[in-house]
Chains A and B, each alone.
With several copies, the nearest count.
Chain A
Amino acid sequence: MSSDHSEPEHTGGEGEVGPGLRASLEAILLVADEPVPVVVLAQVLERPRNEVAAELADLAGEYVNEGRGFDLREVAGGWRFYTREDCAPLVERFVSDGQEVRLTQAALETLAVVAYRQPVSRVRVSAVRGVNCDSVMRTLVLRGLVEEAGTDKETSAILYRTTTYFLERLGLASLEDLPELAPFLPADIEDIEDENARA
């Protein structure tokens, strides 16, 4: 997609052709959960690498000049948003002041499936639960309850397992101490529904 021909799918009627390079970079980096290499950004945006690199450097400088609370830094071969250094004490206070986080039912179920089926891919967990679990899995990783455990040899999907922190939170010494499932498995599906209703 080159930016110089008109693109009918964009709505802006004032000669706009969608978000500019700068806004596009900001949007992508906002959701990136690890440093993004220039080459990846150039691919997604279909722009030359040097143009993207120059724009990133410009943006980073702009944030510093404007005294923003975040800046863009190139770390480990990629670009990422970081909090500004002198905001660190406030950020620390914010992070440590947070209240204990209670997991949602959806997160708890996903965690349970991972615990008893590990190592397991997101696709399999989603299949077991019948709903997409990508965002819940991400939360569990963020909370340190679940971590990546290599990739599946056949599908090369990322596998997940529970962490030692998970065991701590459940008060268990090791995974072997997880209770057997058998006594909790209902005889048939009707019973499951009933238990759901009672639970």
Chain B
Amino acid sequence: MTVSVDDFPDGTGALPDAAVAAGPGARETAGFEVHLDVFEGPFDLLLALIAKHKLDITEVALSQVTDEFIAYLSERSDDWDLDQVSYFLVVAATLLDLKAARLLPSGEVEDEEDLALLEARDLLFARLLQYRAYKEVAATFAARMAAAARRFPRRVPLEPRFAELLPEVLLGLGPAEFARVAALALAPRPLPKVSTEHIHAPEINLKEHARLIAARLAQAGRASFRQLTAGAAGGYEIVATFLALLELYREGSVSFDQIAPLSDLFVTWTGNGDTSSVNRLTESDDE
């Protein structure tokens, strides 16, 4: 069965909650639509459907969604929306975890470990919903700020005759603490970095990771995806490897071959691309 936006007359009527949930996120991901066997439509609606149990996560080919997202970004190589990218990464990682949890046998709870997995699955669901709730309200914050910025408050110096009556200012700290505040303010700020640190995985720097993968491939000439992701610290690192490879492929730095469906995917270094877009992958919005 294919669910698509067209199945709901006005896109909202049949699934009010889903539509509401798709509202704010749709602001950044407005243009990004996925085209899967089971679903066609905006990325945000896909999330809403999964959250509402209208769509089974196990039926969603996440790799395909990722593929489409990379392609979507490539079309817009000149005006990257980094917010959109980081949002996608966060959600994709959550979906990946969710799917992994789902694919495990869950009919019978045999031991503590299974139980823990089940709980983890529910936790992921709840977290996704919760994150979306805050995301939605964050969009109303932006709207309110924009509206409020159109009114200017009166804030002018007192007429001189009243100025000397002003009460004292309380600094609330001594010279030493003041110097500490100054030192912190004047110290060079840490370079902004992309917020790739998913809750389940140790922080991974996409740029570093992409370079690492490129270096490994350049040296080895050829490696399987399995080899490249062996020893990955978590699902997130696998996603990062995947993203890096897609980007390298787009640049013509690698080629892929696979003997049969679901067999090992081999990556061969062709080394004729430049790595500028890999570098671009990694600029930050974390400010």
Contacts and interface: CB of A to CB of B under 8 A. Distances in A.
Interface string A72-105: 0100000011111100100110011011111111
Interface residues of B, number: 81
B165 A95 contact: yes
Contact of A181 (B94, B151, B186): B186
A80 to B, nearest CB: 5
B130 interface: yes
A189 B126 contact: yes
Interface in B187-215: 187-190, 192-193, 195-199, 203
Contacts of B188: 189
B20 interface: yes
Contact of A136 (B151, B162, B184, B287): B287
A133 to B, nearest CB: 8
Interface string B159-195: 1011101111111111110111111111111101101
Contacts of A70: 154
B156 interface: yes
Contacts of A104: 83, 285, 287
B251 to A, nearest CB: 27
Contacts of A27: 152
A112 B185 contact: yes
A168 B164 CA distance: 15
Contacts of A32: 154, 156
A109 B163 CA distance: 24
B152 A83 contact: yes
Nearest to A108: B138
Contacts of B189: 130, 189
Given A32-B156, A82-B153, A131-B90, A171 B286 contact: no
A155 interface: no
Contacts, number: 280
Interface string A1-17: 00000000000000000
Contacts of A82: 151-154, 159
Interface in B58-87: 83, 86-87
A192 B126 contact: yes
A101 B169 contact: yes
A26 to B, nearest CB: 11
Contacts of A80: 153-154
B40 interface: no
B220 interface: no
B130 A168 contact: no
A92 B150 CA distance: 9
B286 A130 contact: no
A112 B141 contact: yes
Contacts of A99: 149, 167
A23 interface: no
B286 A135 contact: yes
A43 interface: no
A95 B154 contact: no
8 contacts: A34-B155, A73-B151, A82-B151, A98-B166, A101-B168, A104-B285, A185-B130, A186-B129
Given A108-B178, A130-B93, 4 more contacts: A108-B139, A113-B186, A168-B148, A179-B175
Interface of A: 27, 29-34, 70, 73, 80-85, 88, 91-92, 95-96, 98-113, 115-117, 126-133, 135-136, 138-139, 141-145, 168-172, 177-182, 184-186, 188-189, 192-193, 195-196, 199
